[in-house]
Amino acid sequence: MIFSVEAIKCRDNGDAAPEIEITLDQEGIEFLVSSLLKLRDASGTRHNHFMTASWGGWELSEKPFHSGGALVQHVCVTVFPEADKFNDSEKTL
């Protein structure tokens, strides 16, 4: 399965923060979609951690796919609780 997340410094954005590149194969797409659907349907704590083997996980690939990219070792996906109940200044976790 390929599910790789890398931080890429974009040549066109000057000093702006790096961009995130996600590289998947078909199995990686199916895994990510399945994980997101489980988050959508879950109750209680609604977050999921994806990590490389180096960080104790198995979900993320250890192989970088982009020249000059920095491999992201840990991704946490969190479902934001009913955003419409918060005003813009309160929309932080």
Strands 70-71 and 3-8: antiparallel
pTM comes to: 0.76
User: Residue 12's pLDDT is what?
Assistant: 67
**From CA 87, how far away is CA 77, in angstroms rounded?**
22
Give me the residue spans of the domains in the chain: 3-90
Query: Residue 19, Cα to own-chain centre: how many angstroms?
Result: 12
| Tens of pLDDT, residues 16-57 | 777 899 999 999 999 999 999 998 888 766 899 999 999 999
pLDDT reading at 92 higher than 60: no
| Tens of pLDDT, residues 6-18 | 998 776 666 677 7
